[in-house]
Structure 1
Amino acid sequence: MGALAALFALRYLGGGHLAAALLVFVGPPLLLMALVLRGSARAAFWSGVGGLLWFSHGVMDAWSLPEARLLAVLEVALALAVIAAASWRGLSARFRRRRG
């Protein structure tokens, strides 16, 4: 999520709307990352939900803004990594082989 926050900072902080970029794009991934690193299961869930939003945003930008396509595809890839990381614990428990 730190990489996603860095991508958002690179993309949106130069636009003259510093407070909005920090509150909307950079702050939430950093806050969720800090809470996940402290072991919060609820933050892991909300990271997955945020990952779905970031995925949708990246697809929309890749489709509609040709000049931002590279950063949008990178956003999609990072969002998929966040979703996979947030879901990993539950998926591994679900598909773990039962012994005995």
Structure 2
Amino acid sequence: MNARHVLVLALLALMGLFLAWFGHGSTAELLVFALPPLLLAAGTLRRMRSAPFWAGVLALAWFSHGIMVAWSRPAERGFALTEVALALVIVFASSLPGLRARFARKPRA
């Protein structure tokens, strides 16, 4: 399984988490929270070059949101810490191809 597959699975898991967490709420909550991971997963599957980048950028916001909720709302701590863990997986999976390219051994001339 490569980094792209891990990224897609993490984004879909995050979308599922948001559906479970905010599923009883308004449509606006679902659009704000569940739609972006779904669109980014679809873009990553279609090999859109910017989708992993934006997934990594939004993962920083998801990480911050999860930390904030975990500290401020103990009843939602499980959802929040799962969001934090998935955000970390998304950051790592979206960055891994670039890290591999950057630190790959260069052929000797």
TM range (shorter): over 0.9
Q: Which runs of 5+ in 1 are unaligned?
A: none
**Residue 87 of structure 1 pairs with residue 104 of structure 2:** no
In proportion to residue count, which structure has more helix?
A: 1
How high is the sequence identity, in percent, across the aligned residues? 51
Give the number of aligned pairs.
98
RMSD over aligned Cα atoms = 0.8
> Any conservation in 2 of the 1:9–1:21 contact (CA below 8 Å)?
no
Of 50, 60, 64, which residue of structure 2 is paired with 1:52? 60
Q: Deviations over 1:19-47 (max 9, x none)?
A: 11221011010001000111111111100
Provide runs of 4+ in structure 1 moved above 6 Å: none
Q: TM-score, normalised by structure 1?
A: 0.94
Q: Which runs of 5+ in 2 are unaligned?
A: 1-10
Q: TM-score, normalised by structure 2?
A: 0.86
Could you tell me which residue of structure 1 aligns to residue 80 of structure 2? Answer: 72
